[in-house]
Chains A and B, each alone.
Chain A
Amino acid sequence: MRPESVTWERAAEVREAAQGWRRVEAIDAPTEQAIREAYPDPCITPSAVWRVLTAGMVTAVFLCTFGALLLAFRTDQLGLQVLMLLFAGASLVATEVLEVSPQSARRGAAGATAFWGILFLLVGFSLFLLDTVRVRYDDAIDAVLIASLLAWAVGSWRWGSPLFAVLSAISFFLFLGRFPYGRVLWGLIGAVLAGLAARWLDEASWAPSHRRGAAILVVAGILAAYAVVNTYSFDARVLEDLGRSAAARVAPSPSLFVFAALATAVVPLVVLMWGVRSRRTFVLDTGVVLLALSLVTLRHYVHLAPLWVILTLSGAALVVLALAVERALRRAPGGEIAGITADPLFADERQQRALQIVPVVAAFTAPAAAPEEKGFAGGGGRFGGGGAEEKF
């Protein structure tokens, strides 16, 4: 990332945190103002709705322009590749130009141009391998996965996009799955990746978006390790199907199957424990998702009830568990048990509200309101005597 972009991002993080501290009255207004003056952020940062809308319209303009030129020139295969690579180059240049200006860096347009630039680069490269160089299909897939891994990783490092980190991690594991012992590689490298990336989660020298990228790699590593041991994945040979068509297939032994069943139950619990011990909500969330997947896997092999009943009951159980934990925390001495409280985090509520839109509309329930602080509320009183009367 450009040094200016890192500085803007750090300032935005501090200002956002200060806003959260002010919201829960941890600091007063002058202190917040002092923080804002100490960390000036020249960028215009619209809400998520505006950013998504802008990115969507930039996408429409980009794709329509590409379609117009494609039909206007009626190109052959080589022309299509050249046009795609030209569009990729133009998009990447546009991204750099947009990223330089604080007026446009965070409006969503730069993210859209970067995404389409890299995607067109990869599609153009794929067409070049298949149609021009005429590489074997399996070799082309390997080459494109390596290119995808590198391109998204460089894009993530350069522009700090978490989405690119996700796409890079997906490309990486798909590439590993191409090897004969892909399952073993997924397990080993997934565990190593999660462990290594976890060390960089609080690295002060990294930009905040790079630290978010590290969090994504932690989640990707955990998911990969879980995919290795999940019983259904073992049974349906999901990872083996990623490999080259010529790869040999060996049926899993019964003892391995039992090990997978045990691991399917244990891994989510281990992840949940890690989340509780490390106080990281994204690890806890990952553990909850894995637990749900394990329940679905259990339902696949042990037909207790229809899937929708299992999912509904699991969701209801989770809600009850969350309510019970919150009540226990609120009633505990000092509102804290082993360093964990039910108090709201100083998180950005705008992001939370944006995320609430979909489930709220789907479920038709009102958005959760922030709990009111039970501070002192003077109800007024009277004193006086001998005809004197005063109110305060």
Chain B
Amino acid sequence: MIHGSLGAGDAGNLRASAVVLGALYVAAAALSVRLQRKAHFEEVFANAGLLLLLSALVSGVLGSELNWGVWLAALLVAAGLVMWLSFRLGRSLYFAQGVVAVYVGLLRLLFAPFRYHVTGLPFFLAALLGLGVLVLILAAHRRMRER
């Protein structure tokens, strides 16, 4: 059933569908709160939408051979926006999805220059990036007012 639902295996089409559907769900979440129509569905719409949207962008970064830089730029913009908005709204789960997406996306940037060299440097840089993200998490937790 899952195999069939994912289509004939065209990753590009699936990715594009996930981006559009994810954006629609996020928009539905925003509208449900703004219009006070089924506002209790906000978390469901937003979490599903962010999962689809950010997963598709991360998949673009990790799966594309040629234009992964474009996907990475889109991911950084989208995830940065998600983190900023979720911080202001006090939504820790949205924030966490943004953080994970940014970290995984940046791993491609760190490992790409060392594609043909066996070296520990990208792992070291990834560990340093992880430490930076940990500091960000601690700072965000201290300042965010969760709702």
Contacts and interface: CB of A to CB of B under 8 A. Distances in A.
Interface stretch (B55-63, B68-76, B129-137): B129-137
Nearest to A360: B44
Interface string B97-137: 00110010000000000000011110110110011011001
Interface string A38-56: 0000000011011011101
A49 B99 CA distance: 12
A68 B123 contact: yes
Interface in A95-110: 107, 109
Contacts of A337: none
B93 to A, nearest CB: 5
Contacts of A60: 103, 126-127, 130, 133
Interface string A306-335: 000000000000000000000000000000
Contacts of B47: 357, 360-361
Contacts of A50: 92, 96, 137, 141
Contacts of A68: 120-121, 123-124, 127
Nearest to A66: B123
A366 B138 CA distance: 30
Interface residues of A, number: 30
A49 B120 contact: no
A61 B127 contact: yes
Interface stretch (A26-34, A69-77, A186-194, A201-209): A69-77
B44 A367 contact: yes
A64 B126 contact: yes
A54 B138 CA distance: 8
A57 B120 contact: no
Contacts of A57: 103, 130, 133-134, 137
Contact of A54 (B40, B44, B123, B134): B134
Contact of A58 (B96, B123, B134): B134
Contacts of A253: none
B51 interface: yes
A334 to B, nearest CB: 31
Contacts of A360: 43-44, 47
A47 B146 contact: yes
A369 interface: yes
Q: What 10 pairs between A and B have smallest CB-CB spacing?
A: A71-B120, A68-B123, A64-B127, A68-B120, A61-B130, A67-B123, A72-B120, A68-B124, A64-B126, A60-B130
9 contacts: A53-B137, A60-B103, A64-B124, A64-B130, A68-B124, A72-B119, A357-B47, A361-B47, A365-B44
